[in-house]
């Protein structure tokens, strides 16, 4: 399911391996339709891929992905406060209520770097509980 309206796009994916690829394609398509440059798009797609993979690994229900493009003078809700410069809010939700935990991955570890990538790349990031699960969100700065 895809919903797009102006500066917001939202999808729900089943907890199946192909959903990571489908989420990447959906996000890249939405960002391209908004005319966002490849640098922001590539980073957003990478981080969405990491978070959807985490959801898929630990949760068994649907995975939600939401993008919100916002501006300092706009009226869109933006995580917990309005942005001070143009930004892209990305949210990945799943039905598991437990917040993710950052791990320290060793040089030979196959996983454990997703949240480190989010923390190092995003302007801000965090988690919040929902009615039935949690949302991991991050914010990327947009040019302008």
CATH of the domain at 118: 3.30.565.10
Name the residue with tokens 């990327």. Answer: 140
Q: Are 69 and 41 in contact (CB under 8 A)?
A: no
Q: For the chain, how many structural domains are there in total?
A: 1
In which domain, by residue range, is 83 found? Answer: 2-141
Would you give per-residue pLDDT tens digits along the chain (144 residues)? Answer: 455 557 899 999 999 989 999 999 999 999 999 998 888 999 999 999 999 999 999 888 899 999 999 866 554 444 455 556 789 999 999 999 988 877 776 777 677 778 888 999 999 999 999 888 999 999 999 886
Q: Angle formed by the axes of helices 38-58 and 114-121, to 10°?
A: 150
Residue 33, phi then psi, degrees to nearest 5: -70, -25
Tokens representing 90? 């990305």
142 vs 53: CA distance, rounded Å: 25
């Amino acid at each position: 399911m895809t919903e797009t309206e102006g500066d917001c796009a939202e999808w729900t994916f089943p907890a199946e391996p192909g959903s990571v690829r489908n989420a990447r394609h959906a996000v890249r398509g939405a960002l391209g339709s908004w005319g966002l440059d490849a640098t922001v798009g590539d980073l957003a797609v990478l981080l969405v891929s990491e978070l959807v993979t985490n959801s898929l690994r630990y949760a068994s229900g649907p995975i939600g992905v939401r993008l919100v493009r916002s501006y300092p003078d706009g009226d869109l809700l933006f995580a917990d406060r309005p942005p001070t410069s143009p930004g892209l809010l990305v949210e990945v939700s799943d039905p598991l209520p437990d917040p993710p935990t950052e791990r320290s991955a060793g040089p030979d570890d196959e996983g454990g770097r997703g949240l480190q990538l989010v923390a190092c790349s995003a302007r801000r990031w965090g988690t919040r509980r929902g009615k039935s699960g949690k949302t991991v969100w991050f914010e990327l700065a947009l040019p302008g």
